[in-house]
Amino acid sequence: MNENFQLPVTELSAHVLETRQRTLDLIQDLNDEQWIGPYLEIVNPPLWEVGHVAFFYEVFLLREFGFKGFFFENGNELFNSFVVDHRDRWFLPLPPRKETMEYVERIMDQVISRLKGPTASPQETYLYMLGVFHEDMHAEAFTYTRQTHGYPEPRLTSAPSTDGSHQQEGGPCPGDVEVPGGTYLLGATPDQPFVYDNEKWAHSVEVASFKIARAPVTNAEFAGFVEDGGYKREEWWSYQGWKWLNRTSSNQPHYQPSLQQWRYEPVQSGTGGSGHPAYWRREGGAWQRRHFDRWVDLEPYAPVIHVNWYEAEAFCNWAKRRLPTEAEWELAASGEPSKDGKSITSAKRLYPWGDDPPTPERANQDERIIGCVDVGALPAGDSAFGCRQMVGNVWEWTVTPLYPYPGYIVDMPYKEYSAPWFGYRKVLRGGAWATRSRFIRNTYRNFFLPERRDTFSGFRTCAM
């Protein structure tokens, strides 16, 4: 916690209310059956998830300030993600939708009403923003849950919707940029107002010079891999990747709560390995992509999205490229070259374009556009080395597994944020179109299992 990080009470209240409205926008149009949805290993039932988000405020904010008891008598047994196994979340005696939302409203009323005075303390600021950022992350999860189940695209009161083409003119952005090597400080610095424990703290690493793509891999580029039999040729895949591809099928067992039985039938989840990325299909000789509940023509210059780490790795092997390390990615996003371009300076940018806050002209975030823009769009967001869209549009896989930085200490009270996941998840950087801009920066580390492709994830490559 940064002892100098304090926000006005009015600003904290605005953040809480705004993220709460975003959550409501993402779920309130769904019917009662959709609030449960079919069982899948990669998503949560929305009814459980919205209760969990409120429970987080109760435990990590209100209890820290002395609140006793539970707003919902057995809330811990229902909504605590570290008590309730993922599969059990479809079978719990969850309160009905109306009662769940009443519980949510009681929590939110208490969260807002306890703020007093003009400025919150550093502890209050930290814990309130911890709750806001947690809900922001679940807002993105609600969004990709809608995509996973084929629900309609969200209609947001705080962001414009589109007709589905969701492209800004930009076209491709080909080629590499060269990043000189040197000693680089990887990680967050203590002067940043809010960071997570897995970003702490900046430490020196040696990075050799490298060439990295100006932009993420596009749909057209990935289609070349698909059409060359990329999903059928074992030589491009790692041992684990090939195992994933062969054990995954588009006909997966899933539990349909409304029918109280397991069924074996195609699920529009994009989790099956069918010779192409999730949500793609061939129609009349051309590729299409499922955009929530509709099929649209595949946008050639938009970044490929909903690909997992194994798919990114296989593409790289086919293209004779490689994924960047997270140190290379962060250096390309935040570093600055010397005047002669042969080395790097000690400067470190908060965002690729500098230290000024994100704007729509710099990054596609906050669900302002419901989907990706062309990789050539938004040149105002370029890094000092000329990399485009390193923040926003799609999360970018790196080759690096999630491990703690030297001197890592678990953050309290949210001790489960990072520590349980070290060692077997891969690091992603940069954020996506559905990611909230208020918590993404160059040092932010996301992490998913390498088989996850329901998330809004793509990748950029480096020269061998």
User: Distance between CA 142 and CA 148 in Å, rounded?
Assistant: 10
User: Distance between CA 6 and CA 193 in Å, rounded?
Assistant: 9
Q: What is the pLDDT of residue 249?
A: 53
- 193-247 pLDDT, tens digit per residue, is 999 999 999 999 999 999 999 999 999 999 999 999 999 999 999 999 999 998 8
Q: What is the pLDDT of residue 261?
A: 43
User: Using 50, 70 and 90 to split pLDDT, how confident is the model at 4?
Assistant: confident
User: Distance between CA 61 and CA 133 in Å, rounded?
Assistant: 13
- Phi first, then psi: give them for residue 116, nearest 5 degrees: -130, 155
The average confidence (pLDDT) of the chain is 91
User: Distance between CA 100 and CA 90 in Å, rounded?
Assistant: 15
For 194, residues 6+ apart whose C-beta sits below 8 A from its C-beta are 2, 5, 126, 129, 133, 439
For 103, residues 6+ apart whose C-beta sits below 8 A from its C-beta are 51, 54, 71, 72, 75, 95
User: Distance between CA 144 and CA 433 in Å, rounded?
Assistant: 11
Q: What is the pLDDT of residue 274?
A: 62
Average pLDDT over residues 11-23: 97
- 83-102 pLDDT, tens digit per residue, is 999 999 999 999 999 999 99
On whether the pTM is more than 0.85, the answer is yes
User: Distance between CA 455 and CA 140 in Å, rounded?
Assistant: 9
Domains of the chain, earliest start first: 9-149 (1.20.120), 159-246+297-464 (3.90.1580.10)
- 281-308 pLDDT, tens digit per residue, is 999 999 999 999 999 999 999 999 999 9
| Burial category of 344 from C-beta neighbours within 10 Å (exposed 0-12, middle 13-18, buried 19 and up) | buried
- 431-440 pLDDT, tens digit per residue, is 999 999 999 9
Closest alpha carbon to 271 in 454, 142, 147, 425? 454
| Long-range contacts of 375-379, Cβ-Cβ distance < 8 Å, separation of 24 or more | 375/170, 375/172, 375/173, 375/215, 375/216, 375/218, 375/301, 375/302, 375/303, 376/170, 376/171, 376/172, 376/173, 376/215, 376/301, 377/167, 377/168, 377/169, 377/170, 378/168, 378/170
Output 265 or 162, whichever has higher pLDDT: 162
CA angle 139, 145, 148 (to 5 degrees): 150
109: left (phi over 0), alpha (psi -120 to 50) or beta: alpha
User: Distance between CA 350 and CA 334 in Å, rounded?
Assistant: 7
- 126-149 pLDDT, tens digit per residue, is 999 999 999 999 999 999 999 999
User: Distance between CA 381 and CA 333 in Å, rounded?
Assistant: 10
Instruction: Give the max Cα distance, the chain.
Output: 67
Q: What is the pLDDT of residue 349?
A: 98
User: Using 50, 70 and 90 to split pLDDT, how confident is the model at 260?
Assistant: very low
| Burial category of 464 from C-beta neighbours within 10 Å (exposed 0-12, middle 13-18, buried 19 and up) | exposed
- Phi first, then psi: give them for residue 263, nearest 5 degrees: -130, 155
Inter-residue contact 374 to 302 (CB < 8 Å)? yes
User: Distance between CA 381 and CA 282 in Å, rounded?
Assistant: 34
Closest alpha carbon to 226 in 314, 342, 125, 126? 314
- Phi first, then psi: give them for residue 103, nearest 5 degrees: -60, -45
| Residue 255 in this model has a pLDDT that exceeds 50 | no
Is the Cα dihedral 353, 356, 361, 367 positive or negative? positive
User: Using 50, 70 and 90 to split pLDDT, how confident is the model at 159?
Assistant: low
User: Using 50, 70 and 90 to split pLDDT, how confident is the model at 177?
Assistant: very high
| Residue 263 in this model has a pLDDT that exceeds 50 | no
- 410-422 pLDDT, tens digit per residue, is 998 999 999 999 9
Provide, rounded to the nearest whole percent, the portion of the chain with pLDDT above 70: 91
| Residue 345 in this model has a pLDDT that exceeds 80 | yes
